[in-house]
A and B are shown apart, each in its own frame.
Chain A
């Protein structure tokens, strides 16, 4: 365990040094070739976890996929989910036993992890698939949370694909139901003061609203509300949990 951590640390250090070297403008002597054994193994993304809860459901019932990935430039999940943020969760509704594979990629290569959701009963009599999804279901299934850095309220560059996907899904929703209003909730982690976080959550919600309006969505259908740190998803004192709580979440508005 310690050995592995040590070698990982060594690889990370090496990667850092190499990266730092790249930033220098014109370092006259080119850096010596790195020892072939260790150097190119520059940190592939690490997948902290990729899990389904529950991992056994009846046909068409929801299961929650949850994942956390470090050092990835892109994260994808197959079975039609597509690009996702490095930390996230997503409800899926499999009608047959399905294995979901998460692929995290960066310049060092890619890592994968898989999780299987076992469907325990026969699918119900086949209903016409397309029109059954209500706007609320689309909102819950397809519009993903956006996440933020500590004390920040700007949409992160790595979350731009999610923002784009959310905009597309929201356009579908408003196309199906012109009277539908979506509430963008701004949330914070537990470390800042509750008072300041009320203001910060408000900034996060309105930053996402502004970005969606830029992408052509109607401002009058997007409501914002700040919950500060009053409604955390998790309460562990760990960065993984803090990162999950620093989010903009979409819910049905009045």
Chain B
């Protein structure tokens, strides 16, 4: 409490242009996100019982910052050996002009804006054990030489309390990194979830876990086949397809209560693959209610006010409504032969094919800003050999994100626009993996049973 009172919260006084000046003049430092500010965060140190876990905190902060699209993270190898740890270590202002070589003083904040670090912002702090808790004191400063006082340079200072173990330290690291990224418009993944399908209970059921793979728990217990999950953008509902009553039908659950929500299934041999509008009030799904192949229907979120929107004579599945505009969607269709990804409006008109027509293209997922889709594609490989690709929807340029790592399917964008979750089958079983949206930083979130069809769910609003 005392410390809380001591910490002052200063407003971010900078305007956008100032941070570019320091950032762009240095060679040898990677500007991953051009035009975005540079951020350095020192390795926090800790004493006593907290010392065993502070490394997990530091690794988490660095990984979250390095993976973000809203800043450039300065590698720690460039930092001075004895960095400041708390505000009393710091001095403000600019060094007096000196003759000869400039001596960098790590205590002087503005010196961090000089080479080799050349950062626009600096995070410092330390961890300690207090009352059996892992407690982190984290500060964040602007290094702009124009700022005269420490108070003005401080962007924020906060105390993070977590359990005194490895996962507590990871949690604190995510929260500190999220507070930094929030200064630059970055969305935090804290509070987001991933729903997925797992057979670890003996049958395919819908499961949910925290975004970092912790707290995996079973949502359905039908003992049937329950698969193809999707989520409402407001983070409150998960929809899926289950054979619980015989033929494949759509079910909806509240993620808040775990209870079933009403959904009207029209009489059909299959109803499946729901996608929600950005306001979570309307849905598009596939149904065989009319004779012929599965076609797309638009309805209210409970299945009422139903309207057929395609009549293509080919299989139409996996409609995904553009989360930015809400009035167009991508669809997997067999209308030109092997399944390809098409874009159309919610009336089923203005159709254009996005994928090249070679191989099979499937599993599209929109980036939150509607500029890209991630999808699974066999490209020129043999059938079934799927990899994850990214497409800039405007230019239709594609980038391959996975290769020689088994069969990779069902990418789903994280709400921060910087990560993807996907399923990777590298042996007999499939597992859920995450990666940065540039294909780096791949790691598995599941180990038990076979796990597939991940969908990243926004934090409940």
Interface residues of A (CB under 8 A from B): 150-151, 190-196, 198-200, 202-203, 205-206, 224-227, 230, 235, 237, 254
Given contacts A192-B384, A195-B363, contact A230 B225 (CB under 8 A): yes
Given contacts A202-B294, A226-B248, A230-B227, contact A193 B363 (CB under 8 A): yes
Q: What is the bound-complex CA distance between A235 and B384, given in angstroms?
A: 13
Q: Are B383 and A195 in contact (CB under 8 A)?
A: no
Q: Which residues of A contact B360 (CB under 8 A)?
A: 192-193, 196
Q: Which residues of B contact A195 (CB under 8 A)?
A: 228, 272-273, 317-318, 332, 362-363
Q: Are A254 and B246 in contact (CB under 8 A)?
A: yes
Q: Are B270 and A190 in contact (CB under 8 A)?
A: no
Q: What is the bound-complex CA distance between A194 and B409, given in angstroms?
A: 10
Given contacts A202-B270, A225-B246, A225-B247, contact A192 B204 (CB under 8 A): no
B 333-347 contacts with A by CB, 8 A = 334, 338-339
Q: Is B288 an interface residue (CB 8 A)?
A: yes
Interface residues of B (CB under 8 A from A): 204, 225, 227-228, 241, 246-248, 269-270, 272-273, 286, 288, 293-294, 315-318, 332, 334, 338-339, 360, 362-363, 376, 383-384, 386, 409, 428, 452-453
In the complex, the chain A residue whose C-beta lies closest to that of B228 is A195
Q: What is the bound-complex CA distance between A196 and B270, given in angstroms?
A: 12
- A199-B293, A203-B315, A235-B428 given. 9 additional CB < 8 A pairs? A150-B383, A192-B384, A193-B362, A193-B386, A195-B318, A196-B339, A198-B228, A198-B248, A230-B204
In the complex, the chain B residue whose C-beta lies closest to that of A205 is B269
Q: Are A198 and B362 in contact (CB under 8 A)?
A: no
Complex A-B: 19 CB contacts under 8 Å:
A151-B334, A192-B360, A193-B332, A195-B272, A195-B362, A196-B315, A196-B334, A196-B339, A196-B362, A198-B248, A199-B315, A199-B316, A199-B334, A202-B293, A225-B246, A225-B269, A226-B248, A235-B428, A237-B384
In the complex, the chain A residue whose C-beta lies closest to that of B360 is A192
Q: Are B384 and A196 in contact (CB under 8 A)?
A: no
Q: Which residues of B contact A199 (CB under 8 A)?
A: 270, 286, 293-294, 315-317, 334
Q: Which residues of B contact A205 (CB under 8 A)?
A: 269
Q: What is the bound-complex CA distance between A192 and B246, given in angstroms?
A: 23
Q: What is the bound-complex CA distance between A203 and B383, given in angstroms?
A: 20
Q: Which residues of A contact B269 (CB under 8 A)?
A: 202, 205-206, 224-226
In the complex, the chain B residue whose C-beta lies closest to that of A196 is B339
Q: What is the bound-complex CA distance between A206 and B273, given in angstroms?
A: 20
- Closest beta carbon of chain A to B336's beta carbon, Å: 12
Given contacts A196-B362, A203-B293, A225-B269, contact A190 B315 (CB under 8 A): no
Q: Which residues of A contact B316 (CB under 8 A)?
A: 199
In the complex, the chain B residue whose C-beta lies closest to that of A190 is B384
Q: Which residues of B contact A191 (CB under 8 A)?
A: 383-384
Q: What is the bound-complex CA distance between A225 and B363, given in angstroms?
A: 23
Q: Are B376 and A193 in contact (CB under 8 A)?
A: yes
Closest 8 CB pairs of A and B: A191-B384, A199-B315, A193-B362, A191-B383, A199-B294, A196-B339, A195-B317, A195-B318
Q: What is the bound-complex CA distance between A231 and B362, given in angstroms?
A: 21
Q: What is the bound-complex CA distance between A226 and B338, given in angstroms?
A: 19
Q: Which residues of B contact A150 (CB under 8 A)?
A: 383
Q: Which residues of A contact B317 (CB under 8 A)?
A: 195-196, 198-199
Q: Which residues of A contact B225 (CB under 8 A)?
A: 227, 230
Given contacts A199-B293, A202-B288, A230-B227, contact A193 B409 (CB under 8 A): yes
Q: Are B270 and A198 in contact (CB under 8 A)?
A: yes
